[in-house]
Amino acid sequence: MVGYILNPMVQYVQSRFDASFAALADPTRRGVLAELGQADASITELANRFDMTLTGMKKHIRVLEDVGLVATEKIGRVRTCRLGPKGLEEEAALIEQYRRLWAARFGELDKVLEEMKAKEKADGRRRS
């Protein structure tokens, strides 16, 4: 029998990142965040700006709301949207970790290429 050790915190963080990145994967949702970064807007206003149905925009807003990137408030018959309480600091930190990893790998690749060029140049001089 195979036993598994599960770390609930890792699973929680991973699923939260999955949800955040899934929400940000859609260009309309990124556009909504950009619009709300300028000013609060009703769902109707957002739907008009993105030339989509009210139902379609509500679905996008719900996804953004579920991950905390957008908050809505209903006043009378109008549901107003604003940027939510959650920032993207943790997601940005994760991306930065990968950026540093790749920068280091490319740095090592640059060293290898420089060594190969130097060797090639030295070999060429010896043949002449």
70 burial via Cβ count (<10 Å: 0-12, 13-18, 19+): buried
Rounded to the nearest 10 degrees, how much is the dihedral formed by the CA atoms of 70, 75, 78, 81? -10
Mean pLDDT of 4-23: 68
Query: What mean pLDDT, rounded, does the chain reach?
Result: 86
Asked if pLDDT for residue 16 goes beyond 80, the answer is: no
* pLDDT over 90 percentage in the chain: 53
- Looking up tokens 């970790």 gives 97
What pLDDT was estimated at residue 1? Answer: 47
